[in-house]
Structure 1
């Protein structure tokens, strides 16, 4: 019915350790139960005017905590929180600056797009821009009392960059102001601190990855210094998970900026980008997460039981942590100084191994999303159904059906350079490997500790992203590039195991949507090469039944497309009439009863494919009464298009539906001729 589109990922919003901005709400659903009247907005905002820096800092830190409960946000906004907090970004106290910026950061993250737009409307960008400029000017002159102590100016900058990232992610006005105010160079300066402060660099890299996507105005202002800074990060070699995430984000930013790369450096940069993504995907979370969990247990044991010389070596570090526990905490955004991110209260203090695991999974998810975007052409001609017109029937092919829609099924265009880089670094094989279920050992160790439990969902999300990425690769590469018939059959068997390996069909919608889109693309490619299919009739029917119960339209569309692809292949084989009857009845049910016109149309399109030709198809069509069923359906389908179409569906979708209406009329005529023979 239409081209199997790749999905272009917009940057998901995470903080510097990879925590989603809605993590607080997910972690603490009970927070929603508090009454809005309990919100201490007035009292805390009043404390911002105190002459005491300690009181102002306490108020900012308290606001930072309270606004993580989304129902408290309106109370702060109604009392002018943004206007009151904005000047605090330039407070004489660094601690107040940091906590005030953190409060606004949490407000922007937990409030979402509407709140971010309101913050920009109340001119938060002016003090934020001034703060960032002051921070960058003071990086090297800041006083650091102890060797391992963090630079306090960098801590302020980290909060400010995260706030900027949130605003630019959610507000087009903020992004426009970013473009005009020269903030790009400021954020790049923060990125260049990666050898001193990787957390700040990661925040800057997240921000750059966001602001460079689909932003031609900014891209026109890029210079060689910006490219050089990103390439330096990309070519760094530190082995930590934090640096892996940093390189991944730099790779994604360079890809966003590909149109601005000097021609002489394009090939080299592209290979460096893909090499970085490839290295990230090489890491095996199923092995590393149990190792990290074991390391955490060892460290915890060493904290409690120091009994030998080897354990004595860790005493100074442990004693330092204990001293921090005993001292009064200096609050920053409602947390102690040992934790420097707004949502890190969800990662208990000292959980460095858990941070590593979160960062690893964030890096791998981001890598997969970047590869999806690399496979997604920006050519307007590739927009779904865009150039097809149903008003002209002169395009009808010799079989009496509209040719235009079939042409849309051809692969999207992927440049030879990009395809070559992806293949040279074995990206298709590595993506396929990531589509497997998370290793059970990793799931088990995560279930043992409540603070690690959330990693299970993260591992599943990486799997779903890998499946979406596989779909994109299959949509943009040819069979030979992917290893030929044997490799495709192996991949098909693997996907079948994911869907049919358990006693029940998958219930996770995100996974089901991703795996069924990948399966459709793969079966389509296999069918085009006349390679034997691997799904049994029973599996086909169970897939169809599960899909019809799913609320996600794309799942239902892909399921009926799979029935059509498989049925059209089986129609060429002997003794297939019985299976074709099952498929035909299933498709008729969807075409007749599904509430969505796009799904109806996809089912009709699949019927045209399955019963277009062959003696087995002719026999099956007769046995299920296909001709009278389609005759009865035809006026209903036309009426639904006329009544529901314009208000509910896009012009592109209506164009395809119109083509299917024409094809339905032609196909009925074809079946009538077959009956007379």
Structure 2
């Protein structure tokens, strides 16, 4: 087989820290009435933005902020020039209007998706936003000193503004360019440095910084000792609260993004602090902590009831959160954005649990990227193909010499850091199913249900992380043969312990990638593995029904690795026939050329050499099937290629086309020999 794809994790499209919400009870919740008519509520609210009354402007902004969370209402506002009407209010005389107008634009950007964000930038929303951020930071220096339990209204405005900036920079390269040219990095650092008094603002700034530092060559040039010092001060802080753990994790991610700017003398020390931060985060057991946090919430509510505090409002808020979550799971969530972290302010323990899971997910995503080669070729196959032009040539094909292991690409410093902090072991722990106790807590409490998806995401990210570590670290660093066999047994339990193979696409993508990498290293070491060919064929059959191309590709690669190993053993012809038939079924029927190419690539591996392979190839009429397929495959590349596939994909497909011709020639010599 060719090289297994290294999955580089990209930042999620939109923030995961929850949307701004100002509850406006007077606004009708029927979204349909915002979609039609001339004098619609959307038009009326936008007209109120021009009111001379600050209270009326605030009411209108807050109402818009709430309504646009139902994404079907957004066109009605955009058609009436909502962005240009809201933009000037970012600099309104009233701080309350500044906060609610920025919150409305923030929600519009998060719920509207990439196109809305791009449109907002084209309408020059970055100009008032930049001015607002500058004014907020200037006010930090001159505003009255607030105690830690007092709210600073300027910080509330800044928090909304930073979240809006985050969404825009995530979706628009033009917004990112403005960020760079306007020098807004300093603004984020000022917000970050307020973590000792306003963790919410600092977290928003850290999320934004983590986003804007990724693949931003222009920003790298503006790095200096002050910037790195600010990040290091956060990285080395020691507050135990989950929000601060998340803050340190995000600072670690930004530091990794800026690694090329680190002074040589500080690289080793900074890298060690970075990996230590990730390690400490992954040490925490969400399965234990979530039930504890829920119990703390129950105790606090009981104490509040005993002291006569009214808990009806909290209960009403719980219901509101649940209702909004249900709305988002319906039509409003069609854009596949995670905006479910709408946590009421009094839900301290739930916020802690959310911060913990977000920190662990982010830590795993950072490790995924640390275990990626910087070689651009890793991402050339958008949906992952294992073929590589340099890896399958006529000579190696004829000799049955196929490379099963991708070259190690970790730097010595990263490798040592990951091993010294037991990162592989901690990642493997996170690949287990979410704790049943934690899941029960979430299932039985409506406001805690938002954590279920997050617990699964941590597992999926850990599996992707495992895949990359298996692809880039040597077997000894991963614990040797015994540990690899234990990993194989664990993955077998994840996939095959149910009556049917799980159908969740994110899970399948992550787990098949991990299995693929594991089987590559096991095959190269000639270690006995616990998956039966029948299990892997059933996985392939399940994968072919999955819409995600990379799932199908991974499953085919797994069959190819298994078959090429079996071909070297005696008495395996019948099993090879089963594998061959499964691969041919995909190669001849899948509509995606990348998947067809992977199936052919796997066939080349399985039937490249050996008496058992030759016997199996004859029994399934492999030569005649491939001869019939060859002109069809060539025609599809010619007709569909340029319109549907990237130049890199076409290059690999052309290579497979050449190898198909050569492989047919090889099979013809085999048939003559057997006659």
- Answer yes or no: is the 8 Å Cα contact 1:13–1:20 preserved in 2: no
Q: Which shifted more, 517-526 or 80-89?
A: 80-89
Q: Does 1:600 align with 2:596?
A: yes
CA distance in 2, matches of 1:13, 1:433: 27
1:455 — aligned with what? 451
Q: 1:568 aligned to 541, 564, 578, which one?
A: 564
1:279 — aligned with what? 280
TM-fit CA distance, 1:609: 1.3
2:138 — aligned with what? 137
Q: Spell out the pairing of 1:484-633 with structure 2 (5 A cutoff).
A: 484-633=480-629
1:232 — aligned with what? 233
TM-fit CA distance, 1:349: 4.3
1:312 — aligned with what? none
- Answer yes or no: is the 8 Å Cα contact 1:401–1:663 preserved in 2: no
TM-fit CA distance, 1:379: 2.7
Q: Spell out the pairing of 1:97-176 with structure 2 (5 A cutoff).
A: 97-143=98-144, 148-176=149-177
TM-fit CA distance, 1:623: 2.0
2:427 — aligned with what? 431
Q: Does 1:635 align with 2:631?
A: yes
| TM-score using structure 2 length | 0.89
CA deviations 1:526-545 (Å, max 9, x no partner) are: 10111112111321221121
Q: Which shifted more, 477-486 or 242-251?
A: 477-486
Pair 491,603 (structure 1): closer, same or farther in 2 beyond 3 Å: same
2:11 — aligned with what? 11
CA deviations 1:335-381 (Å, max 9, x no partner) are: xxxxxxx9799323421111111111111111111111112222335
2:333 — aligned with what? none
Q: Secondary structure at the match of 2:36?
A: helix
CA distance in 2, matches of 1:120, 1:390: 40
- Answer yes or no: is the 8 Å Cα contact 1:584–1:624 preserved in 2: yes
CA distance in 2, matches of 1:33, 1:468: 41
Aligned residues: 643
1:366 — aligned with what? 362
2:415 — aligned with what? 419
CA distance in 2, matches of 1:89, 1:402: 67
Q: Spell out the pairing of 1:377-396 with structure 2 (5 A cutoff).
A: 377-380=373-376, 382-384=378-380, 396=394
Q: Does 1:59 align with 2:60?
A: yes
Q: 2:656 aligned to 653, 660, 671, which one?
A: 660
TM-fit CA distance, 1:144: 5.8
CA deviations 1:361-409 (Å, max 9, x no partner) are: 11111111111111222233555379x9999999632544898xx5696
Q: Secondary structure at the match of 2:395?
A: coil
- Answer yes or no: is the 8 Å Cα contact 2:431–2:463 preserved in 1: yes
CA distance in 1, matches of 2:372, 2:533: 33
Q: 1:397 aligned to 395, 398, 408, which one?
A: 395
CA deviations 1:98-133 (Å, max 9, x no partner) are: 111111111111112222222222222222112111
CA distance in 2, matches of 1:344, 1:550: 26
- Answer yes or no: is the 8 Å Cα contact 1:591–1:600 preserved in 2: yes
Unaligned segments of structure 2, at least 5 residues: 24-28, 317-323, 325-337
Q: Secondary structure at the match of 1:346?
A: coil
- Answer yes or no: is the 8 Å Cα contact 2:117–2:168 preserved in 1: yes
CA distance in 1, matches of 2:313, 2:595: 63
Unaligned segments of structure 1, at least 5 residues: 25-29, 307-314, 327-333, 335-341
| TM-score using structure 1 length | 0.89
2:437 — aligned with what? 441
CA distance in 1, matches of 2:31, 2:648: 41
TM-fit CA distance, 1:83: 2.0
Pair 297,224 (structure 1): closer, same or farther in 2 beyond 3 Å: same
CA distance in 1, matches of 2:427, 2:244: 21
- Answer yes or no: is the 8 Å Cα contact 1:213–1:256 preserved in 2: yes
TM-fit CA distance, 1:661: 2.0
Pair 274,21 (structure 1): closer, same or farther in 2 beyond 3 Å: farther
- Answer yes or no: is the 8 Å Cα contact 2:387–2:598 preserved in 1: no
2:41 — aligned with what? 40
CA distance in 1, matches of 2:396, 2:474: 27
Pair 21,56 (structure 1): closer, same or farther in 2 beyond 3 Å: closer
Please report the RMSD computed on the Cα atoms of aligned residues, expressed in angstroms: 3.0
Pair 570,21 (structure 1): closer, same or farther in 2 beyond 3 Å: farther
Q: Which shifted more, 95-104 or 345-354?
A: 345-354
CA deviations 1:612-670 (Å, max 9, x no partner) are: 22222222222222222222222222222222222222222222222222222222222
Q: Secondary structure at the match of 1:532?
A: coil
CA distance in 1, matches of 2:515, 2:391: 33
Q: Does 1:188 align with 2:189?
A: yes
Q: Which shifted more, 493-502 or 45-54?
A: 45-54
CA distance in 1, matches of 2:12, 2:390: 42
TM-fit CA distance, 1:141: 3.3
CA distance in 2, matches of 1:450, 1:261: 45
Pair 233,417 (structure 1): closer, same or farther in 2 beyond 3 Å: same
